[in-house]
Amino acid sequence: MTTDKLAVDQGLLNYLIKHIRPELAQKISEKKTIETMIVGLGRQGTRHAQLMMEYGTNVTCGVAPGKGGTYVHETVPVYESAEVAKKKHPDIAVASIWKHYSSAKDATIEVIRSGIPIVVLISEFIPLKDVRDILVEARKHKTILFGGNTPGIIFPPEGIKVGMLPDIFQAQKTDNKIGPKGVTILSRSGAILYHLSDALASAGIAQNGVLGVGGDGAIGSRFIDLVSRIMRYEHTDLVVIAGEIGGMQEELLAQDMKANPEKYQKPLVALISGANAPEGKTMGHAGAVISPGQSYGTYQSKKESLEKAGVTVVNHQRDLIDAVRSKLNRTYFDIEKYYSKMSKKWDARPPVKTWGTLVTNVMPNNLIIRGYPLQEIIAKKGFLETSYLLLKGEFPEEAQLKELEDTAKKAIKQEFTDLKSITISSDISKTLGTLMLVDNKLADFVRLNSEETKIVAYTLGRVLKYFAYILGNLDQLESSSVSETSFSEMIYLGLVKEKNSDTLKVKLLEAMIIACVDHGITPPSAQATIILASTRANYEVAVAGGLQAITDVHGGAGQMAAKFFLSVVEKAEKEKLELDESTFKLISETIKTGKRIEGLGHRIHTQDPRRDVLWKLAEDAGYAKSCVDVSKMISSTFHRVRGMNLPINVDGVIAAITADMGLDPKLAKVIFVFGRTAGLAAHYFEEINTQTQMRRIAFDKATYKGPSIREIK
């Protein structure tokens, strides 16, 4: 079995953290992960956050003022400040800064003051006066600061990178196991660093850490600050520094090596670039410039200083390989296997670009809502609890549920002065959408409240009020006692027009609503809401748009199926037939007329996962009668007639139960639309919180990124 990664507490990064924050290193050992934070989520920061995660880095959160409360790449929470992020995630160990040079100072100082031990300052062109202030804070807090103007740091054995370094660095690998040993590279230049790694890998030399110290004239951590510390790491066999002309980093290191040889117990090889650079001309980096008339900063001065300290100095990759080989006299992995692996990587097609949703995972014969099978939710939870789950990924605590209940009841009781001026159309979705769009109370509540769960609870209360009006039950609903009636009982009252104290019957109606909350991002109603959310349409506009997309073609099957089941029972009674024979005859007659049998078939499920739990609840409530009996035999009977296997779907099951309850068939569609309201709201908030506005949405490229299957406790 191949071990893909080295345990994080055995690697170089944790060693560096332990040197300055031993208590945090202990937590890392316990949690088996190193948490990182990304500050600045512009185009580059956002793109490289994804690449870091793909490499294996635990990007725990992001910081972007003005974007607090949103998510990047669907799963990474974003906060307004590093201070807030650190309070939420106290074990963050590494932060990368991707800010414009004009705001990099304040962002970096805030991160340093939050106590994060390793800071990678990607930003370049930071004014020297700002760098000075950053360095003062870094030294005060004992922060290891890489940069500015660094490509980042990468630790191949642990599979962790922070920054923009490509996935080309090779870890030790023996007997199919990743090991911690190798050389550690420190480089002022990003481009040279990439070439060094490739050159060493081609000779079988592994890297346990590759550190871009930064190319600006003033940086956080110099060679003199890092080399001796890294040499104390037991698994570093040799250190390579990639220097260049300009500044005194290399000379200062050489001076310290001669003065304190006991600190430098590992071999050191230096590659110095810029042998032919003219004086006074910047060569790539702000720090790579030789001032005229000075005796330091030149290629010659650096070479001589390092060689006097016993360092092998080279000017070419070929010479570097020879020097490293001679000092190590070993390789770290099978070179042929390395080339084979890299060849496959280079020849591989670019991955298909996808986007993610955390709401619902639609699989054959299973529907997963935030990790929980929908059939379990139907059996054990209420509508408000389910709406909270759709938004937050967990069920509410008791106090939170009470708050939702109070909010939904408040929505029912608040007046709607224009309600009775709206003409009730035969199209329930059209009327519902119209009511939502002209409801000033709903618009005001959304505008004045930032808590999404409250907004959705209020919406569900208002939608129940709309349905009560459409069904002619408004007076009974509005006259109900808020203190004595639960929201579940209000649902029954608003839809059925009677108060029912039988908890099983109340639960049955609510369960059918929950069964319809969501079916992923592919249904037209969800797509309509997501597209409107992408344009940043108002919440009520986007949800109303999704609801109005629920037509007789999409979402109207239940109403027609209920009429069919009632017709089967009526035919059986009238013609003195058994139910199975009546079903056979009516299916045959219907098909001959060219009409569909509604409530059958599904493009994904061969057995709808919601079917059995709804039948069971109907039996418990005493509503599993003739129509439910027909629903249980209709698939096999349809096969007798047409020779086709079409399973009954959730629309058919709900239709049968509502018919047995003696309810108007149109209530089957009402149930579907009411339930779907919660799902559409969840998709709206997910879109605006996790995706860029006006994006091109490829719905077939969506993937589920939520929790894996879990049980309700």
Q: Is 462 helix (H, G, I), strand (E, B) or coil?
A: helix
Which residue in this structure is represented by tokens 């008791």? 398
Written as one letter, the residue type at 320 is L
| CA distances to 465, 565, 568, 579, 610 from 633, in Å | 36, 11, 12, 9, 17
Distance CA 144, CA 147 (A): 10
**Active-site option among 48, 235, 285, 602:** 285
Angle 223-231/12-20 helices, nearest 10 degrees?
110
- Is the dihedral angle over the CA atoms 451, 452, 456, 457 positive or is it negative? negative
Give the distance from CA 308 to its chain's centroid: 53
Written as one letter, the residue type at 466 is Y
Please report the DSSP string for 416-429 in residue order: -TTGGGSPPPS-HH
Angle 539-548/524-534 helices, nearest 10 degrees?
150
Query: Is 285 known to be catalytic?
Result: yes
**Residues 24/80, Cβ–Cβ less than 8 Å:** no
Distance CA 197, CA 169 (A): 6
- Bond preceding residue 461 cis, omega within 30 of 0: no
Bin 348: left if φ > 0, else alpha if -120 < ψ < 50, else beta: beta
* Beta-carbon count within 10 A of 248 CB: 17
% helix / strand / coil in the chain, to the nearest 5?
Answer: 50, 15, 35
| CA distances to 142, 179, 184, 366, 549 from 654, in Å | 64, 58, 65, 18, 20
Cα angle at 543 between 538 and 548, to 5 degrees? 125
**Residues 277/290, Cβ–Cβ less than 8 Å:** yes
| CA distances to 211, 244, 368 from 164, in Å | 12, 21, 35
Please report the DSSP string for 648-696 in residue order: B-HHHHHHHHHHHTT--THHHHHHHHHHHHHHHHHHHHHHHHHS-TT--
Residue 234 makes CB contacts below 8 A (sequence gap 6+) with none
Distance CA 663, CA 513 (A): 15
User: Across-strand partners of 96?
Assistant: 38, 120
The tokens for 552 are 């007789």
Please report the DSSP string for 473-513 in residue order: -HHHHHTS-TTTS-HHHHHHHHHHSS----HHHHHHHHHHH
Angle 383-392/487-496 helices, nearest 10 degrees?
110
Residue 131 makes CB contacts below 8 A (sequence gap 6+) with 105, 148, 216, 218, 219
SS (H, E, C) 368-418: EECCEEHHHHHHHCCHHHHHHHHHHCCCCCHHHHHHHHHHHHHHHHCCCCC
The tokens for 260 are 């304190």
* Beta-carbon count within 10 A of 523 CB: 21
**Residues 213/222, Cβ–Cβ less than 8 Å:** yes
CA atoms lying within 13 Å on the CB side of residue 436? 29
Q: Looking at the annotation, which residues are catalytic?
A: 285
